């Protein structure tokens, strides 16, 4: 059995050697063969050089390949590039910063049971020590996402093993913008969970700024659910009810002869209606932006270099997917 390991790498030069030392130790204890695909997501440090030198450690049972994206396309794109390259009976996606402990690999492989299970997900037992706003933000996001998409993603991470069947389905999906966690849940294969405690990052730092996280939250909810759009319709419905009541009240006042007193109401109404209309338009705009990104059909990433033990001396094979 061949297992592919997909590792997205972005500015991880300080930790790659450690990562490989730990991972290699674990892989050598497993009876399966491995191909390790390190995808450099346009790093600006020397990660690619580190990847290139790691490919020299390849041996029969553990082959190491490197893929280099032409710029930083984001982790989702790097995962997709790796999965497209993978030829194993199963693929394991994990981070390069040891926050997805390689020691889980044997347990994930035994849970996979030689292909009887489609997806093995490593679920975080507790979230990493994050600041309170980040933790609350994540909680709120998962609440909204679960409600909007009807997929349960609480505690889920990108640390997953996918059976070949699932990998094939995943790479055949037509969308350009990908959300690995959500799409694997959406594919709906039989999944089992194994729990792990995410350790702290040893070196380097997390590449997620609050701004990036908010962008991710927005685009994932929009691409998995049209609930926000429908919420605008409901808001409109409530608005109509409300205006019907106010119309009756206004007419009543007019008959009573003190019509001019409703002036503050008029101002409030104009403000409320104006902001609701703008909110609605903004939301529709978000969906149009998402559609616009998809209909352009640009590739999710562009590969500028690839290196494997067999083509180490002749390593440029530009290709886009």
- When the beta carbons of 100 and 178 are compared against Mg ion, the nearer one is 100
Residue 96 CB, nearest approach to ligand UDP (Å): 4
Chosen from ligand UDP, Mg ion, none, partner binding at 9 (C-beta under 5 to 8 Å by type)? ligand UDP
* DSSP output for 247-284: HHHHHHHHHHT-GGGGHHHHHHHHHHHHHHHHHHHHHH
User: Rounded distance, CA 215 to CA 220, Å?
Assistant: 8
Residues that bind ligand UDP (CB under 6 A): 8-10, 12, 41, 72, 74-75, 78, 95-97, 99, 206-208
Residue 201 CB, nearest approach to ligand UDP (Å): 6
For residue 131, give both structure tokens. 């600041």
Q: How far is CA 285 from the centre of its chain?
A: 22
User: Rounded distance, CA 110 to CA 182, Å?
Assistant: 24
SS3 state at 4: strand
Chosen from Mg ion, ligand UDP, none, partner binding at 249 (C-beta under 5 to 8 Å by type)? none
Chosen from ligand UDP, Mg ion, none, partner binding at 80 (C-beta under 5 to 8 Å by type)? none
- When the beta carbons of 78 and 83 are compared against ligand UDP, the nearer one is 78
> Does residue 157 bind Mg ion (CB under 5 A)?
no
The count of other CB atoms within 10 Å of the CB of residue 124 is 17
- Report the candidate in 67, 22, 73, 77 with the shortest Cα–Cα distance to residue 47: 67
150 touches 127 (CB < 8 A): no
- When the beta carbons of 50 and 89 are compared against ligand UDP, the nearer one is 50
> Does residue 99 bind Mg ion (CB under 5 A)?
yes
> Does residue 225 bind Mg ion (CB under 5 A)?
no
- When the beta carbons of 130 and 175 are compared against Mg ion, the nearer one is 130
- When the beta carbons of 39 and 108 are compared against ligand UDP, the nearer one is 39
Please report the beta strands in 94-235, taking only residues with DSSP state E, as ranges in sequence order.
119-124, 160-163, 191-196
> Does residue 11 bind Mg ion (CB under 5 A)?
no
- Report the candidate in 305, 312, 313 with the shortest Cα–Cα distance to residue 85: 305
Residue 248 CB, nearest approach to ligand UDP (Å): 54
Chosen from Mg ion, ligand UDP, none, partner binding at 76 (C-beta under 5 to 8 Å by type)? none
- When the beta carbons of 63 and 99 are compared against Mg ion, the nearer one is 99
Judged by the rule CB under 5 A, the positions of this chain that interact with Mg ion are 97, 99
């Amino acid at each position: 059995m061949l297992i592919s390991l997909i590792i997205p790498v972005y500015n991880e030069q300080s930790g790659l050697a450690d990562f490989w030392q730990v991972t290699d130790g674990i892989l050598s204890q497993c009876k399966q063969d491995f191909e390790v695909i390190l995808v450099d997501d346009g790093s600006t440090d020397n990660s690619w050089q580190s990847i290139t030198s790691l490919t020299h450690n390849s041996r029969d049972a553990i082959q190491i390949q490197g893929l280099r994206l032409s710029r930083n396309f984001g982790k989702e794109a790097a995962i997709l590039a790796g999965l497209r390259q993978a030829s194993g009976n199963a693929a394991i996606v994990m981070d390069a910063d040891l926050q997805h402990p390689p020691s889980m690999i044997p347990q994930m492989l035994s849970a996979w049971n030689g292909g009887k299970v489609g997806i093995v997900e490593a679920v975080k037992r507790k979230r990493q020590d994050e600041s309170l706003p980040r933790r609350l933000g994540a909680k709120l996001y998962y609440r909204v996402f679960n409600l909007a998409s009807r997929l349960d993603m609480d505690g889920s991470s990108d640390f997953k093993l996918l059976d070949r069947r699932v990998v094939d389905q995943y790479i055949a999906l037509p969308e350009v913008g990908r959300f690995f966690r959500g799409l694997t849940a959406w594919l709906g294969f039989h999944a089992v969970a194994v729990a792990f405690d995410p350790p702290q990052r040893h070196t380097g730092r997390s590449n997620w700024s609050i701004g990036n996280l908010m962008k991710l939250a927005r685009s994932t909810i929009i691409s998995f659910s049209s609930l926000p759009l429908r919420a605008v319709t409901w808001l409109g419905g409530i608005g109509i009810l409300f205006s019907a009541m106010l119309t009756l009240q206004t007419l009543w006042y007019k008959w009573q002869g003190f019509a001019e007193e409703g002036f503050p109401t008029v101002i409030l109404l104009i403000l409320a209606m104006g902001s609701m209309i703008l909110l609605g338009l903004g939301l529709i705009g978000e969906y149009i932006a998402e559609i616009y990104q998809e209909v352009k059909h640009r590739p999710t990433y562009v590969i500028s270099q690839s290196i494997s033990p067999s083509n180490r001396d002749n390593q440029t094979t530009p290709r886009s997917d």
